[in-house]
Amino acid sequence: MENLNIGQHISRRYNEELEDIRNRVLAMGGLVEQQLQDAMRALEDRDGGLAAQVMENDYQVNAMEVAIDEECNTILARRQPAASDLRLIVAVIKTITDLERIGDEAERIARMASRMVGEEQSARLFTQIRNLGHHVRGMVHGALDAFAHLDTEKAVEIWSEDRRVDSEYDSLMRELMTYMMEDPRSIPNILQAMFAARAIERIGDRATNICEYVIYLVKGKDVRHTRVDQQTED
């Protein structure tokens, strides 16, 4: 991990401001993780009450994004940061955007779950959805951990998981289409499952974005649209 000089400025207030936005990003990440966990549980259990709770709490994620964004804009105007400080502000703004979108996807999963309440589904089908969700939740947690510790090795590790998620998602989609062809009566519910699975896959994409921001923050390198082997290069 490189030394970004965060918290090493002459102005104690400036140090506190930079540390505060980092902490607030992690607090927002914790809320988003909880939203995702609850949404997945609502989907697996077809729990309408829990799904409603996730949908109702989405406003908290949105409010945190707005508040952190406003604080970043204030620091940009007042402090005119440069070098690693500027990269931190940029990385934070990008990260909270992706966290807010993960929150939106969690809310979408909860909405699908609410529409499937009382419906019986294949245990194997929901095992696959649960496995995909578990994998993606791990990616989100790992991406936030990489952000907290400015750990580029962890960021690259999580980034490389996205291909596996894509493979799991494609396999799940093929199975869902088979269910629909075998039993047309299942189409409405299978479509809801498809929408939920798509939301889960998109969350994996958002987690990889956060990993890219960590690499940018630490190394000053824009690694979007590159291969994993290129991201490991110094």
The per-residue DSSP string of 174-217 comes to HHHHHHHHH-GGGHHHHHHHHHHHHHHHHHHHHHHHHHHHHHHH
**SS in 3 state form for 52-109?**
HHHHHHHHHHHHHHHHHHHHHHHHHHHHCCCHHHHHHHHHHHHHHHHHHHHHHHHHHH
In a domain, 5, yes or no: no
Residue 4 within a domain? no
Report yes or no on 7 lying in a domain.
no
Mean pLDDT of 40-51: 91
Please tell me which residue, 81 or 33, carries the higher pLDDT value.
33
Give residue for tokens 């070098």.
83
Residue 233 pLDDT exceeds 70: no
Closest CA to 34 of 126, 94, 106: 106
- The answer as to whether 98 is a domain residue is yes
For residue 26, is pLDDT > 90?
A: yes
For residue 229, the model assigns a pLDDT of 54
Closest C-alpha to 25, from 77, 121, 105, 90: 90
Q: What angle do CA 140, 34, 4 make, to 5 degrees?
A: 45
Query: Residue 50 sits in a domain of what CATH number?
Result: 1.20.58.220
- Three-state secondary structure call for residue 133: helix
Residue with more model confidence, 2 or 126: 126
What is the four-CA torsion angle of 142, 148, 153, 158, rounded to 10 degrees? 20
What radius of gyration do the chain's Cα atoms show?
Answer: 19
Q: What is the pLDDT of residues 58-80, one digit of tens each?
A: 999 999 999 999 999 999 999 88
16 vs 206, residue with greater confidence: 206
1 in any annotated domain: no
Render 108-125 in DSSP notation, one character per residue: HHHHHHHHTTT----HHH
Provide the 8-state DSSP code for 47: -
- The pLDDT, as a whole number, for residue 98 is 98
Domain range for residue 78?
12-225
Burial 95-111 (b: 16+ CB within 10 A, else e): bbbbbbbbbbbbbbbbb
User: Given pLDDT bands bounded at 50, 70 and 90, which one contains residue 2?
Assistant: very low
pTM for the whole thing? 0.89
CB distance 31 to 96 below 8 Å: no
Determine, yes or no, domain membership for 231.
Answer: no
The answer to whether position 208 is within a domain reads yes
Q: The tokens 């998602």 sit on which residue?
A: 169
Question: Integer distance in angstroms from the first to the last C-alpha of the chain?
Answer: 12
CA–CA distances in Å: residue 10 to residues 13, 23, 77: 9, 21, 18
**What average pLDDT score do residues 18-23 get?**
93
Instruction: Kindly indicate the confidence band of residue 44, based on its pLDDT and cuts at 50, 70 and 90.
Output: confident
Q: Is residue 234 part of a domain?
A: no
Query: Quick one: pLDDT at residue 9?
Result: 62
Residues 6+ apart with CB under 8 A from 122: 179
- How many structural domains comprise the chain? 1
